[in-house]
Amino acid sequence: MGKQQLITAALGLLAAVQGVTAAKNACRPRTVSTSVVPTPTTLTTSVVSATPSSSAVPIPAEKYLITFGDSYSQTGFDISGTKPSPGNPLGNPQLPGWTASGGLNWVGFLTSQFNTSILLTYNFAYGGATTNASLVTPWREDVLSFVDQVAQFSNSIASKPSYAPWTAENSLFGVWMGVNDVGNSWWKGEEYDVLVEAIMDTYFGQLQVLYDAGARNFALLSVPPIHRTPTMIDQGEWVTETEAASIAKYNAAITAHLAAFTEANPGVVAKIVDTAVPFNTALDNPTEYGSPDATCYNGDGRSCLWFNDYHPGIEINRLVASAVADAWRGPFF
C-alpha cells in the first residue's frame, strides 16, 4: 500500500472515530449524564457539620478549575445549565459527566479526587475540537473550536459573576488542545510546519484573551502519543513514525511560544504537562494497570487501557490527572 493510500485509510478511520464520539456530543441532550453507570463518586470535599466544635476543621476556600479542550477533556458541560457547586462540582452533567473515557476523565479526577479544597470546574471542552476551525477543519461544522470555547468563557464567567467569583489567585486554567490539530494534519509535510505556527498564533491569542480577563495560572497539556492509539497502530510503521514526528513539532512549538507569552505578560505562572509520561507509563506496562496489552479497548473504560480505538480509558486519565496535580502541588492539589 502506498503512502497516499495509507494516509487515506488512516483519515477514514480517524474520521469514523471522531464521528462516533463527537456525534454523541452534538446530538445528546446537553444535561443528560453519560450512559456509563458511574461508580460512587469519591469527592474529597467533605461535608462539614453545622454543629459548632472547637476542633472543627475550617471550611477550605473554594477554588476554580476552568478548562478547554476536545473529547479527551469533555464532560458535556453547558454554561446555560446547572452551575458548579460544592455538592455538584461539575455542574452539569454531574460527575463523571459525559466523557470519552468510560467514567471519570482527567478533569473529573482533578475535580473530585486530587483536589485539596472545594474545586468548582467550568469545563468548556468540546468533542472533536481543533484550535482554529479555519486552519484545521473539525469533523463537522458545529464543533466548538478553542476559539469558540474561549468566546463562551468571555460571554459567561469572564466577568466573574456572582455564581463564579474567581480570581487570579484561586483559579487554574487548563488547556489540552492539539489532538485533533495533529490528527487531522500530521501528513502534510513542509506545509505542516507552517500550519503549526499559524495554530500557535491562535492558541496563544486565546491565552491572551484569558490573561486579559484575569487568568494567571495556566496548565498546558501537551499532545499525547496518539500515534500509539489502536487506530494509528493499525495503519503501520510509516504512519505512526510520521505522526510521532508531527506531535513532537507541535509540542516544541507550544514550549517556544510559551516563553514569549510569559515574558510579555507579567504574573503568568504556566506549566506544560508532558502527557507522554502518563500515557507511556501505562502503555509500556499495561498489565500493571489492569489491561492484558497496550492495544485492546473496551467501552467499560477499565478492562483495557483504551475506551475505544482512539480515546484513553479511565486509568490513563487518572495518570494524566496525577501529572497535572503533581505540577500544581500546593496551590490547588
What CATH number does the domain containing 271 carry?
3.40.50.1110
- Whole-number percent of the chain with pLDDT over 90: 81
Q: Which residues contact 104 (CB under 8 A, 6 or more apart)?
A: 38, 95, 96, 112, 113, 314, 317, 318
- Look at residue 271 and tell me if it is in a domain: yes
- Enter the C-alpha cell of residue 135: 486552519
Q: Which pLDDT band holds residue 65 (cuts at 50, 70, 90)? A: very high
Of 195, 211, 215, 228, residue with least CA distance to 305: 228
- Look at residue 54 and tell me if it is in a domain: no
**How far apart are alpha carbons 137 and 180 in whole angstroms?**
9
Each residue of 139-155: pLDDT tens digit? 999 999 999 999 999 99
Each residue of 151-191: pLDDT tens digit? 999 999 999 999 999 999 999 999 999 999 999 999 999 99
Of 172, 175, 184, 279, residue with least CA distance to 216: 172
- Look at residue 78 and tell me if it is in a domain: yes
**Per-residue b/e over 201-231, b at no fewer than 16 CB within 10 Å?**
ebbbebbebbbebebbbbbbbbbbbbbbbbb
Each residue of 275-318: pLDDT tens digit? 999 999 999 999 999 999 999 999 999 999 999 999 999 999 99
pTM for the predicted model, two decimal places: 0.85
- Look at residue 52 and tell me if it is in a domain: no
- Enter the C-alpha cell of residue 31: 444535561
Q: How many helices (H) and strands (E) does the chain have?
A: 9, 5
Q: Which pLDDT band holds residue 6 (cuts at 50, 70, 90)? A: low
- Look at residue 100 and tell me if it is in a domain: yes
Q: Which domain holds residue 237?
A: 3-26+64-327
What total number of domains does the chain contain? 1
Of 309, 306, 330, 329, residue with least CA distance to 317: 306
**How far apart are alpha carbons 331 and 320 in whole angstroms?**
18
- Look at residue 175 and tell me if it is in a domain: yes
- Look at residue 131 and tell me if it is in a domain: yes
- The number of beta carbons lying within 10 Å of the beta carbon of residue 126 is 26
- Look at residue 166 and tell me if it is in a domain: yes
Strands of 217-221's sheet in order across: 119-123, 63-69, 171-176, 217-221, 269-273
Only one residue has cell 489491561, namely: 291
